[in-house]
Amino acid sequence: MLRFSCLCLFILALQSCSSQVKEDVDVLVLLPRNNSYMFSIARVTPAIEYARQLLARGPLVGLNFSVRYVTSECGVDALYALVDLARHERPDLILGPVCEYAAASVIRVATHWQIPVISAGALALGFSDKGSEYAMLTRTAPSYLKMAGTFATMSEQFGWKSVHLIYLDDREERNCYFTIEGVHALLESDHDISISMMNSRDPLAHVDEIIKSIYEHEVIIMCTHTDVVREIMLMAHRQKLTTSSRLFFNIELFNSSSYGNGSWRRGDKYDNEAKAAYASLNTVTLLRSTKPEFENFSQEMKKKIGVDVCEGCSDINMFMEGFHDALLLYALALNETIHSGYSKKNGTEITRRMWNRTFEGIAGQVSIDANGDRYGDFSVISMTNHETGTHETVMNYFGTNGSFQVLPGFNSERFTLRGAPRQPLPDPDGQSSGGLGLSAVTGIIVGGLLGTALLMAFYFFRKNYRITIERRARREQCDGKHRQLREDSIRSNFSAA
């Protein structure tokens, strides 16, 4: 006890001589109670508390965070919670919401009040527009648009021309819809692209049409339940579409337990067929990096979130990391803001200082771009042993420099589309680079001078070809507004409501 008070005195003395910032910070956390969400309050709370304790031990000990945790489901009640709580005093910082529709209204009001909002969610394309309504938003998890960079870069390297997107629309949170919207936004201008929407009540109702679209395209990108992925792969396999002239991708960003080894296995009579079909399936997921400090974090989370809270909830996910890092980022920006003579109420200034910066997060470096969105790193996972059906990471994509790291399991043959009409790729040196080999892939760095030149070459090359943006008109339910990716961003959806 004595030692503890001595420490306090020491810290106090240190504070006064290094002009340490002292400030009370009122934080409001808006997250759902239901543990079926990976970002439920029970899972994220220990991560935020961990960050708070970390800060209390560090040089920013003068920042006194008081955190209010308020549950709000994915609808409009997040907004009501904010308005009710802010009746007397507005919070200094809002963490969350994650769900797009809850986030949209909260961020709009927060922007109006100039309160910084940091979320490890709100990943939809619409939030990238920070010009007005979402000006106070900083995202500490990579958005769907950042994820789509993985596909755009692969497309550049492997020369994809036609892409079919398949997504499941639950008409509520619409995660897959927003995921695919990001991919669509990056690929639409220079690919022949088409989309299949699946209704969550009966996903495979129009499977014939889906198979037909698969037949017509080189690259198939899916976002749907793992069971539906399996059905589609089985169907494609039976139609002999899982050949070397076609690449299948499945996007499964957050839930690491549902991809990789054994994802084809159900214990039914189709397992062997599914294993063969999955040889053509690749999964894009978040790259998980860890460092020694992460182990401690991970163990603390396991301690705090027992099985009595919810089963499997102590598995660390991107949302827990993101909200942990959110508090660190805010503390860094607030420290600078106060040192520069502004108050903690100047949300604009604090937000500006959170953007375009790199700092040390719990799992590694976190880079926030100049638009306040985190750069993301992603992995491509493929089956590397066709006998056992095991999967491995074959490529890593680094968002900050747009480059791929090729791992030993990578098979360039497999990523080189055959059978589809191939055009020689333009090469500034005049050399042919039709099928990119391992060394070529390793060497390409998008962002460098050469990368820029290559990109421009690709761009002009593609422009010479007919560009078709095909929109398959759905037979069922013709309330067009919800069907079209471009028209239905968060923005238009909400302004129409």
**Residues engaged in binding ligand NAG (CB under 6 A):** 24, 34, 36, 38, 59-60, 64, 66, 226, 255, 257-258, 260-261, 296, 299-300, 332, 335-336, 339, 342, 346, 348-349, 352, 356, 370, 381, 390-392, 398, 400-401, 403, 445
Give whichever of 352 and 474 is closer to ligand NAG, judged by the CB atom. Answer: 352
DSSP class of residue 426? Answer: P
CB of 133 to ligand NAG, least distance (A): 19
CB of 162 to ligand NAG, least distance (A): 29
Q: How far is residue 179 from each of residues 29, 112, 150, 260, measured CA to CA in Å? A: 24, 28, 13, 20
Give whichever of 193 and 279 is closer to ligand NAG, judged by the CB atom. Answer: 279
Give whichever of 199 and 346 is closer to ligand NAG, judged by the CB atom. Answer: 346
CB of 126 to ligand NAG, least distance (A): 21
How many C-beta atoms surround the C-beta of residue 363 within 10 A? Answer: 22
308-343 in b/e form (b: 16+ CB < 10 A) is eeeeebbbbbbbbbbbbbbbbbbbbbbbbbbeeeee
CB of 249 to ligand NAG, least distance (A): 16
Give whichever of 193 and 232 is closer to ligand NAG, judged by the CB atom. Answer: 232
Give whichever of 163 and 180 is closer to ligand NAG, judged by the CB atom. Answer: 180
Query: Shortest CA distance to 229 belongs to which of 277, 276, 189, 267?
Result: 277
Q: Give 26's strand partners.
A: 66
Give whichever of 124 and 253 is closer to ligand NAG, judged by the CB atom. Answer: 253
CB of 352 to ligand NAG, least distance (A): 6
CA dist 400 and 447 (Å) reads 9
CB of 326 to ligand NAG, least distance (A): 16
Place of tokens 């099985």: 307
Q: Which two tokens stand for residue 154?
A: 């692969």
> Beta strands 162-169 and 117-119: pairing type?
unpaired
CB of 188 to ligand NAG, least distance (A): 26
Give whichever of 241 and 316 is closer to ligand NAG, judged by the CB atom. Answer: 316
Give whichever of 352 and 491 is closer to ligand NAG, judged by the CB atom. Answer: 352
Question: Which residues, in sequence order, are CB contacts of 9 under 8 Å at separation 6+?
Answer: none
Given a contact cutoff of 8 angstroms between Cβ atoms, the answer to whether 98 and 121 are in contact is yes
Q: Which two tokens stand for residue 257?
A: 């337990």
CB of 415 to ligand NAG, least distance (A): 18
> Beta strands 377-385 and 390-398: pairing type?
antiparallel
Give whichever of 24 and 209 is closer to ligand NAG, judged by the CB atom. Answer: 24
Given a contact cutoff of 8 angstroms between Cβ atoms, the answer to whether 234 and 292 are in contact is no
Q: How far is residue 281 from each of residues 169, 238, 243, 284, 397, measured CA to CA in Å? A: 21, 15, 11, 10, 18
CA dist 314 and 312 (Å) reads 6
Give whichever of 265 and 474 is closer to ligand NAG, judged by the CB atom. Answer: 265
Q: Give 70's strand partners.
A: 30
Give whichever of 71 and 492 is closer to ligand NAG, judged by the CB atom. Answer: 71
CB of 348 to ligand NAG, least distance (A): 5
Q: What is the per-residue DSSP string for 282-342?
A: EEEEEPP---HHHHHHHHHHHHHS-TTT-TTTTS--HHHHHHHHHHHHHHHHHHHHHHTT-
CB of 266 to ligand NAG, least distance (A): 11
CB of 257 to ligand NAG, least distance (A): 5
